[in-house]
Structure 1
Amino acid sequence: MSAMSSSNWDRRSVLRAAAGLAALGPLAACGGNNGRGGGSGSGKNLTQYFHAYGEAGVEQAVKRYAKGYSKADVTTQWITGSDYETKLFAALLTKNAPDVFEFHPQIQLVKSGQVADLTDLITPVKDDFNQADITSHTVDGKIYGIRMIDDPQFFFYRKSMLEKANVAVPTTLEELIEAAAKLTTSKVKGLFLGNDLHAIELPLIWSAGAEPLTEKNEVGYHTDAVVGGLRQLRKLFTSGDLLLDAPADFWDPSALNQGLCAMQFCGMWAMPAMQKALGDDLGVFPFPKVGSAGRPSVYNGGWSVFVNAKGDNVDAAKEYVKWLWLDQKKDQEDFATSYGFHIPPRTSIAQSATKLKSGLPAEGVKLFNTYGHFDNISWTQAMYSAWDSVIADSVRKGGDPEAALDAADKKINRELKKLFG
C-alpha cells in the first residue's frame, strides 16, 4: 500500500476516489494513439508518471536517471497533491497517457489489458529478485511490472518514554493497548496508528493468523481472531490513548518526531528523518500478534513500475524500463537508500546496500525478512474500500464487527466472482 509514501499522498484515502480503478471498465475502448508524433511509435519521446515522494531529492534523482538514458527523451510528470491515482487513471483514458508509470500490482490492470507483459525482460534476472515480489506481480505465469522498492511498515517508539513509564516493548495487541495507556500523559498520546486507521487493516488480519484471501481466492479474513482484534481496536479507539487527527498521516514521521506520541505506526522510509530528529532514542517492533493463534506481522508495501500496453511506444518503453530498473543497479540502490530507507527488491543489491547493514536499518530489514507479508495482486481497490468500511463501522462508530465483516464479505465476494467467475 504502500508505500514509499509521500507527505502528499496516502494510498488508501485516495483509493476511495470514485475515478480510481472503476475507470478501468472503459479503458478497453481507449485508442492507442497517445498524441505523440501522430502515433508513429518512433520511441524518441517517452513520458513517465511518478507520485510526489515526501523525501527530499527523490524528484531530482528520478529526472537525473532519465536524463542518463540515450535512446529516448524521457519526460517525468511529478504528480503532486493527494490524488495521484485519480490523475493517473484519468490520464490513462486519454491520448496523453504516460508510457511508463508507477503503481501497485493490481489484477484489474492486467485483465483490462492496461499493462504490458514484462516476463521477457525479467526472466534473465528473475532469480535475483525477492521471490515474493515476483509472485505479487504474476498472473497466469506472466509477470506484469517490476518492483522498484519494498517498504516495510512497523511501529517506531521512543525508547526513553517507554523506559520512563516502565513499559516493555509490546508483543500482543493487548500489551500494545496497555502500553498506550501507560504512555499517555497530558501532553503525549501513547500511540498513533494514522488518522483513519486504514494503514493497519492488513497487519491486523495477518497478525490474527489469517490471510485477506485464501490461495483459492476466497475470503480468508473473516475469523474469530480478526473479530476479536476489531473489538480490541474499538476499545483502544475510545480509550483516549490514541492520537487522532494528527497534522500529518501515518506515513509522515512528524507525530513521533514532534513528541505528539510515544509509539507510531509508520514505514521504514521515514527512518532517516526520525533518526535525524531523535538520534538513538528510537526502536522498532512489528505489528504484534492478535489472539492466541496470532503471529507478529510486517506489511511490505512499495512501488512498482509498469508499461502502458495501450501506448504507441510499448517497445521503447519496455527498453527504457529494462535499462533503468534492471540494468542500472547503482541507480536502483541510490533510489532505495539515499533519500528514505527502502529495501531493494533485488537480492544482490539488498545484500550490498551498506546503509541497511547496521543499527536500526538492519533491525528493520530483519523484521522485513522475519515477519514480512507482500501485496496480493488479487486484493483489489474495491476490497481495500470494503475493509475501510469495516474499520469505520466497527472501530470508529462502534458497530458490531461481525455485521461489518458480513457486509464486507458481500462486497468482496461480488468482486471475486467478477474477477474469477
Structure 2
Amino acid sequence: MTNPARSGGPGTPFLHEVRVLDVTGALAGPYCTTILCDLGARVTKIEPVSGDALRARRLGPERRPIPFDLVHRGKASLAVNLKSAEGVALVRALAARSDVLVENFRAGAMEELGLGYGELKDDCPDLVYCSLSGFGQFGPMRDAKGIDLIAQAYSGLMSVTGSTDGQLAKAGFPISDVGTGMWGAIGVLAALLRARSGGGGAYLDIALADAVAAWSLWEVADYTATGVEPGPLGTAHRLAAPYQAFTCSDGATLVIGAVDRAWLSLCAVLGVDLGGDARFATEYERFVHREHLAEILQERFVAAPRDHWMALLREAGVPCGPVNGIADVVADKHFAARGLFVHDEERFGQPTIVNTPIVSDGAPRASGPAPALGRDTTTVLAELGYDQDTITAMADAGIVGVHAPAGARR
C-alpha cells in the first residue's frame, strides 16, 4: 500500500494515491468502484477473456454497450481467465500491489478461487477487501440469490412503495444496487483511513438487503410506536401533511411539503381559508385527515397550470418542485450548472454520462471513457514484470486477453 506522506494540495484528486482492483460484475460492485474512480483512484477492472456480461447488454440504434460504459468509465481493463491457476496467480500479484479489492461474486466464490480475504491478507496486510452480495457472507440467507428486485422486496421497501389501493411497485431506479455500491464506497473510504494510520487492512461485508433495510428509519419508527405495519401511501409522507403530489390544470404534476409555518403560506397562495376547520387546526390533525385535505387542495391546484403555482409557492417560501421525467432531468439547467450530466461523446464515447454527485476541488468526477476489453492487459502485466513474449504466450493460451484494434493483427 502506498504510504500517505502528505502530498498534493487543492485540486489534487482525493484518492490519487489509491489503487483499486475491481473484480466485479452487474451493477452494485461496478458502481462502488466507479465512485472511487471518480474520486481519483486508479481502478483496474478484472474481467473474463470473453468480456464482462454487461458488454453484451447493448442499447439504442447503434447497439452500444451503454450499461457497461456508464459504470466502468475511467477504469483500466485487464482480461484474465480466473479458471486458470496462472490467472489466479496474476490477480494475487495485483492484489499485493493494491490498496483496495472490491468483488461481488456469490458468497464463498472468491475463497474457492484462492482469492478470498483469508488467502490474501498475509501477503497484503493493509488491503481493504470489500465483498458485495445479495444477503451477505453469513446468516440463514447467505446462499440465496440476491438481486435488486429481491432486495427491495425482502427489505420491506416494496411493502411501503406504491399506491394507496395496495398496488405495489418497486422503486423506479435500481436503488438496491446503487445504494449497496454507495455503502461499499463509504466503507472502503473509512477502512482506508484506518489502514493509512497504521491500523491494518479490513474486510467489509456489504449486502443488498441490508443496504435497503437500513433506510427504513421512518417506517420502523412508525411501526414500533404504533404496532401497526406501514403500507404504501403513494406520494404522501408517513408523518406529515400536506406532503405529496398534486396535478395542475395543464396536466403537469408538482410536489409540495407544506409543514410547520409553510402551511399558512400555502393556504394564502391557494386562497383557501381552513383556519376554522378543526380537522386541520394542528399538524397532527392535518396528518390524520390528510386524505380530505388533499381533496380540498387538489381542487385548487387544478385551477391553474403548474408553473403558475410553483412561482407563487416559491415566492411564498413553500417547498415545492416539479415531477420531472428523465428527459426533463437530463436537460435541466440546474443539473447542467452543477455538472451532473456530461454531454461529451467525443470524450466519453457516450452521448451522456451521469457524474458522481460530489462537487469539490478534490473530486475530478468522470474522467474518461470505459475501456475496450483487455485494453490495458499488456500495460498491467508489464508493470508486474512480464516481458512481451510471455504476455503473447499467455494470450495464446487463453490465460489473458489482449485488446487488438479493429483490423489489427496480433
Same fold at TM > 0.5: no
Higher-RCO chain (CA-CA 8 Å, sequence separation at least 6): 1
Larger helix proportion, structure 1 or 2? Answer: 1
* TM-score (norm: length of structure 2): 0.21
Larger Rg: 2
Name the TM-score, length of structure 1 as normaliser.
0.21
